């Protein structure tokens, strides 16, 4: 039996504009998302900002009611059996929030241990184990307000694991963490996966998803546009190549972006994306197999100062970019 | 029985840790010292003009409880808003424990801090204005104080659960602060108000608590007032617990909990 099953989940938000004459507008944040997570699996949910990842997670963790569709965790309905579902899930989100700043790490864990019904006789040992797991042993008496973001994030994970949940939701846990901290965090997540914990992870970092996830679903504009293992997703674009052209448009990125449609219309081009760099832009062109478009792309970009031109194998990030931009 | 014990533990541990949160901020501590004393001083300066020592005693007791009302009315709803800002509100809601058991310790901790304001104001009145409050029935006086504070905590709890559903619900506490000074009879006898105002006043636990405190100090029988104050406090707690589950369902439907 799957640990989590989501069937045609939908969520619509009503937004209003105006003060005296209020105009209501319906926004469909999630439009019919279905997927399942198997026991022991680390499942990645990827998508750009506003794709509906967090809304999907909030429905699954019982913070939001779906407008339509259904989801169950261990056979328990997230709407009808919300309280019982909460006993079996842990929720960790990224960023600085979600902890009591003026309390020590130990007091934070103690408080949430009570709220998550960890038996009193087990609390001390459980908190000690988790502090050890996330590398905060020796710092437990310090107030959280003095913690670095990486330490806070690891404390968040410890909090999410207090009641040994069957399914752990990690919503962009590595956001804003420095590379060393992020590496430590990935090691912690990988350790949880090795220990058999089932995890749903959302992230913007493709290398993180590639390294950690067993399967990935890609959301775009509220819809699930692809699902598979990282290798399967990469295979969608590996039969081809990627041309990267560094540009220095001088009068602003609008110049390069004005030529994106023309580059995209070239024969053999699958998709085009412009990434900003501090000193210019990088035009990333995904190309059909057996086609060389380098000269045609450079010709289309005539008038713009061009730097390095590289042709390389596609990565998971390329697959992701193609999926969400197509 | 097991469920009751677990609930009691959640309330107890929550109360201690929330008190710890309130106690460690020097800035909040200074505000808690200055704020009630400022309003008490203003009230006592006005009442001193009458030249009636009894009026000053009346105001001295009223000003002491007035500080606790202010501390609860504004702070209780503000406390939940603070939880929303720091991202802990959604964690309280997604915990398997009933949200009422998570919120009540917050307002109980605020009521405990309010106890300080009450004692400090009485001392302030004695030292600065020479108000000598003779307490005829110390035991009844202490019970009346504690029941008043407990009922204020449950009233604050009712206010604070609205914040779970309404993002700007915290403003309700600010709105009630000054009308509460009049409605609860802290400084002005309720007999001076029209009947409809008195009806509203009688629905507020501190009104009865204030009467009980004055009665206990004067050696009159305070127990009926104490009982009504306690009953209203329990009623507000029950109403808050009932509403909290419904307001959370509504918040889940209308997406008023944090979405980021």
CA angle centred on A10, ends A7 and A11, rounded to 5°: 145
The CATH number covering residue A148 comes to: 3.40.50.300
Interface contact A55-B259, CB threshold 8 A: yes
Whether residues A185 and A305 share a domain: the answer is no
The CATH number covering residue A319 comes to: 3.30.70.100
How far apart are the C-alpha atoms of B41 and B35, rounded to whole Å? 10
Domain endpoint, select from A200, A228, A256: A228
- Please give the pLDDT value at position A239: 66
Whether residues A214 and A279 share a domain: the answer is no
ipTM for the assembly = 0.84
Q: Which of A115, A157, A167 to mutate to test the interface with B (most CBs of B within 10 A)?
A: A115
Residues from A in contact with B at Cβ < 8 Å? 13, 54-55, 58, 61-65, 83-84, 86-87, 89, 91, 93, 95, 97-103, 107, 110-112, 114-117, 120, 143, 159
Whether residues A204 and A256 share a domain: the answer is no
Interface contact B255-A13, CB threshold 8 A: yes
Range of the domain at B64: 2-254
Query: Which chain B residue has its CA at the smallest distance from A88's CA?
Result: B96
Q: Tell me which chain A residues have a C-beta less than 8 angstroms from the C-beta of B85.
A: 97
Whether residues A249 and A310 share a domain: the answer is yes
Alpha carbon separation from B240 to B93, B103, B152, B155 (Å, rounded): 15, 10, 13, 8
Structure tokens at B79: 């406390």
- Which residues are paired to A245 by β-bridges? A283, A309
Q: What is the pLDDT of residues A179-194, one digit of tens each?
A: 887 888 888 888 888 8
Whether residues A280 and A219 share a domain: the answer is no
Q: Tell me which chain B residues have a C-beta less than 8 angstroms from the C-beta of A13.
A: 255
Interface contact A65-B253, CB threshold 8 A: yes
Whether residues A135 and A30 share a domain: the answer is yes
Instruction: Write down the residue that tokens 């009712």 correspond to.
Output: B158
pLDDT value at B209 more than 50: yes
- Quick one: pLDDT band at residue B148, thresholds 50, 70, 90? very high
- Please give the pLDDT value at position B250: 87
Mean pLDDT of chain A: 87
Residues 6+ apart with CB under 8 A from B131: B44, B56, B57, B60, B125
pLDDT value at B143 more than 70: yes
- Quick one: pLDDT band at residue A237, thresholds 50, 70, 90? low
Whether residues A241 and A311 share a domain: the answer is yes
Interface contact A100-B88, CB threshold 8 A: yes
Q: Tell me which chain A residues have a C-beta less than 8 angstroms from the C-beta of B14.
A: 111, 114
How far apart are the C-alpha atoms of B59 and B196, rounded to whole Å? 24
Whether residues A193 and A148 share a domain: the answer is yes
In a domain, B86, yes or no: yes
Q: Who among A97, A100, A115 is closest to B102 (CB)?
A: A115
Give pTM, 2 decimals: 0.81
In a domain, B259, yes or no: no
Q: What is the pLDDT of residues A78-117, one digit of tens each?
A: 999 999 999 999 998 887 788 999 999 999 999 999 999 8
Size of interface A-B (CB pairs under 8 A): 86
Alpha-helix residue ranges (DSSP H) falling in B86-137: 89-93, 99-129
Range of the domain at A184: 4-228
- Please give the pLDDT value at position A280: 83
Whether residues A146 and A290 share a domain: the answer is no
Alpha carbon separation from B16 to A107, A135, B11, B106 (Å, rounded): 10, 27, 9, 9
Instruction: Write down the residue that tokens 């004005």 correspond to.
Output: A258
How far apart are the C-alpha atoms of A147 and A105, rounded to whole Å? 9
Alpha carbon B165 to its chain centroid, in Å, reads 21
pLDDT value at A5 more than 90: yes
Where in chain A does DSSP place strands (E)? 4-17, 23-37, 42-46, 68-73, 76-77, 89-93, 167-171, 198-202, 215-220, 223-228, 241-248, 269-277, 280-287, 305-312
Q: Lowest-confidence range among A253-257, B41-45, B81-85, B238-242? A: A253-257
Q: What is the pLDDT of residues A24-69, one digit of tens each?
A: 888 888 999 999 999 999 999 998 888 889 899 999 999 999 999 9
Whether residues A162 and A296 share a domain: the answer is no
Domain endpoint, select from A228, A246, A268: A228
Q: What is the pLDDT of residues A124-156, one digit of tens each?
A: 999 999 999 888 899 999 999 999 888 898 899
The number of folded domains in chain B is 1
- Which residues are paired to B239 by β-bridges? none
Alpha carbon separation from A265 to A151, A176, A272, A287 (Å, rounded): 48, 37, 10, 12
Alpha carbon separation from A166 to A89, A195, A217 (Å, rounded): 6, 12, 20
Q: Tell me which chain B residues have a C-beta less than 8 angstroms from the C-beta of A157.
A: none
- Quick one: pLDDT band at residue A3, thresholds 50, 70, 90? very high
In a domain, B260, yes or no: no
Domain endpoint, select from A197, A228, A259: A228
How far apart are the C-alpha atoms of A145 and B5, rounded to whole Å? 32
The number of folded domains in chain A is 2
Whether residues A206 and A139 share a domain: the answer is yes
Whether residues A110 and A219 share a domain: the answer is yes
Contact (CB, 8 A) for A39 and A208: no
Q: What is the mean pLDDT of residues B213-238?
A: 93
Dihedral angle over CA of A315, A317, A318, A319, nearest 10: 90
Helix axis angle for B26-48 and B99-129, nearest 10°, is 50
Residues 6+ apart with CB under 8 A from B107: B72, B76, B79, B153, B154, B156, B157, B160
Interface contact B96-A13, CB threshold 8 A: no
Q: What is the pLDDT of residues B19-67, one digit of tens each?
A: 888 887 777 777 777 878 888 888 888 888 877 777 778 888 888 888 8
Instruction: Write down the residue that tokens 């794709």 correspond to.
Output: A51
In a domain, B150, yes or no: yes
Instruction: Write down the residue that tokens 């589950």 correspond to.
Output: B245
């Amino acid at each position: 039996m799957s640990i989590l099953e989501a069937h045609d989940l939908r969520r619509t938000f009503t937004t209003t504009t105006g003060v005296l004459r209020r105009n209501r507008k319906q926004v469909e944040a999630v439009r019919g998302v279905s997927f399942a997570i198997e026991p022991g699996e680390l499942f990645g949910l990827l998508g750009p900002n506003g794709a509906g990842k967090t809304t999907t997670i909030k429905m699954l963790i019982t913070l939001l009611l779906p407008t339509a569709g259904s989801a169950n965790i261990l056979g328990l309905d997230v709407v009808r059996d919300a309280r019982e579902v909460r006993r079996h899930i842990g929720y960790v989100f990224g960023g600085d929030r979600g902890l009591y700043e003026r309390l020590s790490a130990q007091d934070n864990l103690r408080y949430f241990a009570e709220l998550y019904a960890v038996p009193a006789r087990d609390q001390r040992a459980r908190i000690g184990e988790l502090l050890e797991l996330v590398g905060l042993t020796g710092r437990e008496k310090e107030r959280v307000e003095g913690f670095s973001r990486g330490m806070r994030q690891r404390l968040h994970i410890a909090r999410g694991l207090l009641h040994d949940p069957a399914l752990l939701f990690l919503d962009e846990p590595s956001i804003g963490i420095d590379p060393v901290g992020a590496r430590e965090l990935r090691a912690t997540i990988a350790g949880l996966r090795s220990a058999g914990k089932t995890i749903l992870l959302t992230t913007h970092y493709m290398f993180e998803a590639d390294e950690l996830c067993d399967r990935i679903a890609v959301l775009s504009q509220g819809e699930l546009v692809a699902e598979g293992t990282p290798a399967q997703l990469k295979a969608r674009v590996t039969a081809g190549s990627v041309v990267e052209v560094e540009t220095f448009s001088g009068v602003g990125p609008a110049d390069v972006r004005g030529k994106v449609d023309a580059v995209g219309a070239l024969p053999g081009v699958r998709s085009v994306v412009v990434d900003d760099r501090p000193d210019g832009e990088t035009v990333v062109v995904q190309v059909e197999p057996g086609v060389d478009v380098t000269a045609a792309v450079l010709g289309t970009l005539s008038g713009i100062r061009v730097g390095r031109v590289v042709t390389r194998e596609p990565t998971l990030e390329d697959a992701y970019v193609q999926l969400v931009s197509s | 029985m097991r469920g009751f014990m677990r609930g009691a533990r959640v309330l107890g541990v929550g109360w201690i840790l929330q008190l710890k949160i309130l106690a460690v901020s020097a800035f909040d501590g200074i505000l808690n010292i200055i704020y009630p004393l400022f309003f008490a001083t203003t009230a006592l300066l006005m009442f001193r003009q009458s030249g009636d020592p009894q009026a000053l005693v009346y105001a001295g007791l009223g000003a002491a409880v007035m500080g606790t009302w202010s501390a609860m009315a504004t702070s209780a709803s503000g406390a939940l808003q603070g939880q929303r800002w720091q991202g802990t509100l959604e964690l309280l809601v997604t915990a398997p424990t009933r949200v009422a058991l998570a919120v009540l310790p917050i307002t109980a901790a605020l009521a405990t801090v309010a106890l300080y304001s009450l004692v400090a104001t009485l001392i302030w009145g004695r030292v600065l204005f020479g108000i000598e409050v003779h307490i005829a029935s110390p035991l009844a006086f202490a019970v009346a104080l504690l029941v008043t504070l407990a009922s204020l905590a449950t009233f604050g709890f009712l206010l604070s659960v609205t914040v779970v559903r309404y993002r700007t619900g915290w403003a309700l506490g600010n709105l009630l602060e000054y009308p509460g000074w009049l409605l609860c009879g802290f400084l002005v006898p309720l007999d001076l108000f029209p009947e409809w105002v008195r009806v509203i006043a009688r629905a507020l636990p501190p009104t009865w608590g204030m009467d009980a405190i004055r009665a206990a100090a004067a050696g009159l029988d305070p127990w009926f007032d104490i009982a009504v104050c306690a009953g209203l406090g329990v009623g507000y707690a029950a109403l808050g617990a009932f509403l909290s589950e419904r307001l959370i369902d509504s918040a889940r439907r209308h997406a008023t909990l944090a979405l980021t």
